[in-house]
Structure 1
Amino acid sequence: MSQDIDYGNLMHSAMRGLIKTVLADVAETGLPGAHHFFITFDTGHPDVEIADWLSDRYPGEMTIVMQHWFENLVVTDIGFAITLNFGDAPEPLYVPYDSIKTFVDPSVEFGLRFETAEDDDDVEDTSIEQLEEIAAEPIEKGDAEIVSLDSFRKS
């Protein structure tokens, strides 16, 4: 048995549980009010299911927006399936929770970021700036509540 408590993995699991709960509520009742989500995930994850043309266009990661039009949202214990519109072409996707890199709801300035050992300190700012470019109502960098797990990682 390990002598240390792995707080980093426990936090990741709790944060993924939060995403699952939020998406399950949306699947049942729809998006409330102005809520909308930017979800960035690793397109190279072995369990991600996306069209070949999407994986070719986004070979490392992809950010999807759940806002005005989506359908067939199915939430499971290990991931979610959804159909999104890409240039008037509906495409089904399957995203496992452990492929998610960021989950942001700019309507309430809330965000989760899943750090990995390869991430460096500048990635968080870049991610927020990239999300601001596609947000209808951009969030202010520094105002969003981004949860970073660096403090929990072993050195």
Structure 2
Amino acid sequence: MKSKNKWLVGISTTIFAILLLSYFIFLNYTEPTEIGIARNIFTGKMWMQEGGGWHRTAPWVLVAKIDTRPMRVAITTAGHGFNARLVQFNCKEWRSFVETEGFRYWWWTNRISYNFGYDEEYRGMKDIMRGYAFATKEYPFIKILEQYTQ
């Protein structure tokens, strides 16, 4: 009886490991409010995954996700002036974003920083969007929906 239980545990563990490995190698998930920018590392071909849900990709395809919801970005300051903007990523211009920024996991941007003292710290895509929202040049991949000044 014990050997049968060990055999069942071994088979169950193997099946679970195969399913988990398949998930990490062949599947990626995007929320309905996100797009995925996929890049084949061998051919360099890139495409956009839209619509949210599960996407099946080859193991040599990397996918970086971008949140497309409007986000408030601001210049944090101890001064009395206030400057903030409501911005949104323009999905149709994802190629110009990749040409400007390069392909990488944008989520990692400014993840390891020590900006103590402000309630709001900008990490990942929000940090990148803040940089382009306040740039002197206008970029097609960012829409400024509203600008707040005081």
TM-score (norm: length of structure 2): 0.25
Higher relative contact order (CA 8 A, sep 6+): 1
Structure number with bigger Rg? 2
